[in-house]
Amino acid sequence: MMRSYQFNAVKAPLVTHEGPAPKPGANDVVVQVKAVGICGSDAHIRNGLMVTSKRPITLGHEIAGIVTERGANVSQVDEGDRVVVDYMISCGRCQYCCLGKDNLCVNGKAIGFDLDGGFADYVAVPAANVVELPGGLPFEQGAIIGCAVATSFHATKIAEVSLGEDVAVFGLGGVGSHAVQWAKLRGARNIIGIDVVRKKLEFAKGFGATHAIDPLSEDAAKTIAEITQGKGVEVAMDFAGQPASLNSAINSAARGGRVVIVGRGPREIPISPWAFLRRELQMRTSSDHLRKEIPAIVEQVRAGRMDLSSSITARLPLESVNEALDALEEHGSEHLRIVVMP
Ligand SMILES: [Zn+2]
Ligand SMILES: [Zn+2]
């Protein structure tokens, strides 16, 4: 028997469920969950802003743990292996998968959105979806690699942040704060973090931001123009998904700059194509991550280039998952990532 925490109804707490532990299909492994990150998407699902394809469903898609059982066809993974779970399941056969754009797979499914996820003692996942977590890396860091750290990594690749460029990061939560670190690793010059929560500005500075702006006390675009001697930033990334943040990102971009949309808020945002045309801006979007990026990220963390040691701002037992969701959602929340542990 095992515990799981299921989403059953919008705007209601996840429900405790006791049931048998999952059995692996022929191509699956069962992972004993050691740590699961709480993502904004989990809160959005509970709120009705995002939908799952079934109900009830066990949420949780930032998963790390130990393989305890494997299906008949599985040979590349062993029982006892420490792993990060890639929550995105792609088919490997459609035209997008064949192009290496498996985040756009037409047959794509996601663990914790379409299939039962990691807010549980055990989870069954395809063996192709686990990536080895080296012994020196804690499970809590492995967990957040699966979404927060991967989404920001992919976004800075889509943005093509390059040596010596100026970058603005709007929204410094679990995803945006890591984009600051990736931008630094990619050799950005000025890295300007923007958020309304003072504590998140402090974290961003610790992660390598050269400047921090609270848009409630100053006009972000104006300050960014001053920092860059009137030029603006080559890359303006929006992780907040709010009308103010996206429009501010557009207004902060240098001529010919890239505006990258990553975060999605609850409301549609009207934007003017003329704002793009005048300065020949590019609008880019970044969704999730690619399969091959997960092992690449694990290697960056293992090698000590990417530091996740201060990314987790709270650790709670699995049974406190609803409190963890509440804490992330709280107005003015100072959390980057909260991890729950069975
Ligand atoms: Zn997520
Ligand atoms: Zn596919």
75 C-alpha to ligand 2 centroid (Å): 23
The structural domains of the chain, with segments of one domain joined by +, span 2-147+289-341, 160-285
pLDDT one-digit tens code per residue, 58-75 = 999 999 999 999 999 999
Beta strands 191-194 and 211-213, pairing class: parallel
Residue 185, Cβ density class (10 Å: 0-12 exposed, 13-18 middle, ≥19 buried): middle
Ligand 1 centre and the CA of 37: distance in Å? 8
Output the pLDDT for position 219: 97
Cα pseudo-dihedral 185, 191, 196, 198, rounded to 10: 70
Residue 62 to residue 157: CA distance in whole angstroms: 21
- Measure the CA dihedral 145/151/153/156, to 10°: -160
Specify burial of residue 187 (Cβ count, 10 A radius: 0-12, 13-18, 19+).
exposed
- Convert the pLDDT of each residue in 150-181 to its tens digit: 999 999 999 999 999 999 999 999 999 999 99
Provide the CATH number for the domain formed by 160-285 in this structure: 3.40.50.720
Average pLDDT over residues 87-109: 98
Distance from residue 225's CA to the centre of ligand 1 (Å):
32
Weakest mean pLDDT among 107-111, 190-194, 328-332: 328-332
Q: Is the pLDDT of residue 266 over 90?
A: no
pLDDT in tens, 294-318: 999 999 999 999 999 999 999 999 9
Tokens 């100026």 sit on residue: 166
pLDDT > 90 in the chain, percent: 96
Residue 265 has pLDDT above 90, yes or no: no
CA 144 to chain centre: 7
Q: Report the separation in Å between the CA atom of 17 and the middle of ligand 1, taken as the mean of its atom positions.
A: 22
Please state, in angstroms and rounded to a whole number, the distance separating the CA atoms of residues 1 and 17.
10
Q: How confident is the model over 220-245, as a mean pLDDT?
A: 98
Hey, what are 182's tokens?
């990736």
Look at the domain 2-147+289-341 and name its fold.
Quinone Oxidoreductase; Chain A, domain 1 (3.90.180)
Residue 339's closest CA among 107, 113, 144? Answer: 144
Would you call 217 exposed, middle or buried from its count of C-beta atoms within 10 A (0-12, 13-18, 19+)? exposed
pLDDT, mean over the chain: 97
Q: Is 119's pLDDT higher than 90? A: yes
What's the 245 CA to ligand 2 centre distance in angstroms? 33
Nearest ligand by distance to the CA of 63: 1
Q: Which ligand does the CA of 61 lie closest to? A: 1
Length of the chain in terms of residues written: 342
Ligand nearest to the CA of 289: 1
How far is ligand 1, taken at its centre, from the CA of residue 278, in Å?
35
How much distance in Å is there from the Cα of 96 to the middle of ligand 1? Answer: 22
Q: Is the predicted pLDDT of residue 258 greater than 90, yes or no?
A: yes
Closest CA to 206 of 38, 35, 338, 336: 336
Distance 238 CA to ligand 2 centre (A): 27
